[in-house]
Amino acid sequence: MGQRDRVEETRIEGVRRIFDVNVFGPVALTQAVLPGMLARGAGRVAVVSSVLGKFGAPGRPAYAASKHALHGYFDSVRAEVHDCGVRVTLVCPGYGPARLRAPGSAGHRPRTGRGDDRRMGDLGGILKRFAPTVPARFCAAATWTSGAAAPIGQGRRAMRMKTALLAVLCAVGALAGRAGAAEPGQARTPCRTIQRMEAHEHQHLVMYGTSITWATTWVDQLTRQLYRRYPGYVTSTNAGMNSKNSRWGVRHLEERVLARNPDCVFLEFAINDAYAPYEVSLEESRKNLEDLIDRVQAFDPDCEVILLVTNPVQGKAAPVRPDLEAYYDIPRAVGRECGLLVIDLFPRWAQVLREDPDKFKRYAPDLLHPGPVGCRELITPAILEAMGAKPLDPD
C-alpha cells in the first residue's frame, strides 16, 4: 500500500494503515513461516520492498518510511538466520501503474502510474534535483526504472542501477573512490566461495581473461594453496587466452566458461581492453563486462563472480595502453555497483614499482606479464587474502 500525498495533507490514520499493511503484514507472515524453514535448515524469505526503501521522495514520506522499516527488519533477520540455511531477499522494483492511496489520507483524487510524475518527479528527476553532479546515465537509468516493469532478463541490471543510485544519494563523492575493492592488509570476511569450501562443498573455479591469467602461474598457485587449506573441495580451469579482450570474452563465454559449470568465475580483461590497437572503447569495455556478469549469473545465480584488477605496465607495453587506469576503473565501478568482490592488485603493484623498480622487474620480467616470483610473492597471497581464505596451520 502506498501514498501520493504531501506531508501536510496526510492523516495519521493513513500512515498507520500503510505501516499495518507494508510492515506488520510481512513481519507477521515471516514469523508464521520461519520456524518451519529453520527446522528444515533451508528456505528463502522474499519481501517486496521498493526503490523508496533506499531513499525518500517528495509526496511519499509514509510509504518510503514503511519500506525503510522493511529493510531494517529483514536485514536483521538475514543476519540472524544466515548460518541456518535460510536466505532473505528484498526486491526493490521501480514505479509502476498501481493505485497507491491509503484509506485515511487526504481526499484528493487518486493518481496512478507515471502521470503523477508531473507533480512528484520520476526517480531521474529527483536525482537531478538532489544530486546534480550525478552522471547523466544514472539519471537516465533511474527514469527507465520508473517506467513499466523490466523484462526478466533485465532485472539484475536494473537492480545494479538502483544500487548505484543509492550510493550516489548516500555519498556522491564515493563514486570516484575504490570502496568496492579488496584492500591489501585488511582482514576480510570470507567470500561465498571460501564459505562453501569451509562448509565442505566442492567448488570449481574458472579463471577467464587475458595472458595475465592464461600465461602466468597464479592460477595454479592459487588452486594449490586453496587445496592445502580445503583439501578435496577445490578444482580450477584456466579458460583465459593470449592476446584477447572482453569482446572475445563475450563471444566465447559459453564454451570456455559456462560449459564447465563453474561455482566461481574470475573475470580479467581490462588490461587488453586498454590496448589501443584493439579499439575497445571504455563504453564497450563496460558493456562487455556487464554482459559477462549478467550471463554468468543468469546461468547460475549462485555462481560467485570475482573481478580482478591487475598490474601497471612498463616499457613498450605502456604507450599502447595510454588509458590503462581508466579501463581499470571499470571493474572497480561495476563491482561496487553489483556488490561483487573486486580484487584490486594495482595499488600493491604500484607500490612495488614506486619503491623498488628492480623488484618490479623481477616480478614482471617483460614489464607486462607477472612471472612466477611475482605471482608467488604478490598475486597469489593478495587473492587469498582478499577472498578471506584461512591461514595455513604452522608446520
pLDDT tens across 136-151, in order?
444 444 443 333 334 4
Mean pLDDT score, 39-63: 82
For the chain, give me the number of helices (H) and strands (E)? 18, 8
- Nearest to residue 197, comparing CAs of 388, 333, 20, 58? 388
Mean pLDDT score, 153-168: 50
Phi, psi at 307, each rounded to 5°: -100, 135
- Using left for φ > 0, alpha for ψ between -120 and 50, and beta otherwise, residue 113 falls in left
295: Cβ contacts below 8 Å, ≥ 6 apart: 253, 258
Euclidean distance between CA atoms 19 and 21, whole angstroms? 5
Share above pLDDT 70 across residues of the chain, in percent, rounded to a whole number: 74
Contact (Cβ atoms closer than 8 angstroms) between residue 53 and residue 70: yes
93: Cβ contacts below 8 Å, ≥ 6 apart: 48, 50, 51, 149
Residue 18 has pLDDT above 50, yes or no: yes
Instruction: Identify the band that residue 15 occupies on the pLDDT scale cut at 50, 70 and 90.
Output: confident
The more confidently predicted of residues 6 and 31 is: 31
Euclidean distance between CA atoms 100 and 329, whole angstroms? 41
Instruction: Identify the band that residue 132 occupies on the pLDDT scale cut at 50, 70 and 90.
Output: very low
Structural domains of the chain, ranges and CATH numbers in brackets: 1-104 (3.40.50.720), 122-175 (no CATH), 181-387 (3.40.50.1110)
**Cα pseudo-dihedral 59, 65, 67, 69, rounded to 10:** 180
Mean pLDDT score, 16-22: 88
List, for residues 369-383, the tens digit of each pLDDT value: 999 999 999 999 999
Residue type, 231: P
Residue 242 CB coordination number (10 Å): 12
Average pLDDT over the chain, rounded to whole? 80
Euclidean distance between CA atoms 383 and 60, whole angstroms? 45
Give the pLDDT confidence score for residue 5 in this predicted structure.
Answer: 64
Residue 307 has pLDDT above 70, yes or no: yes
Give the pLDDT confidence score for residue 381 in this predicted structure.
Answer: 95
Give the pLDDT confidence score for residue 1 in this predicted structure.
Answer: 65
The more confidently predicted of residues 147 and 325 is: 325
Angstrom distances, CA of residue 390 to CA of 196, 203, 213, 295, 378? 13, 16, 23, 30, 17
Residue 25 has pLDDT above 50, yes or no: yes
**Lowest-confidence segment of 76-85, 95-104, 221-230 by average pLDDT:** 95-104
Give the pLDDT confidence score for residue 41 in this predicted structure.
Answer: 81
Mean pLDDT score, 196-212: 96
List, for residues 241-294, the tens digit of each pLDDT value: 999 999 999 999 999 999 999 999 999 999 999 999 999 999 999 999 999 999
Burial class (CB in 10 A: 0-12, 13-18, 19+), 241: middle
Residue type, 190: P
**Can you read off the three cell numbers belonging to residue 135?**
552522471
- Nearest to residue 295, comparing CAs of 267, 258, 270? 258
Mean pLDDT score, 316-338: 95
List, for residues 214-247, the tens digit of each pLDDT value: 999 999 999 999 999 999 999 999 999 999 999 9
Residue type, 294: D
- Using left for φ > 0, alpha for ψ between -120 and 50, and beta otherwise, residue 388 falls in left
Give the pLDDT confidence score for residue 11 in this predicted structure.
Answer: 81
**Owner of C-alpha cell 531513499:** 55
Which stretches does DSSP call E strand in 155-211? 181-182, 203-209
List b or e across 294-329, with b for residues whose CB sees 16 or more CB atoms inside 10 angstroms.
bebbebeeebbbbbbbbbbbeeebeeebeebeebbb
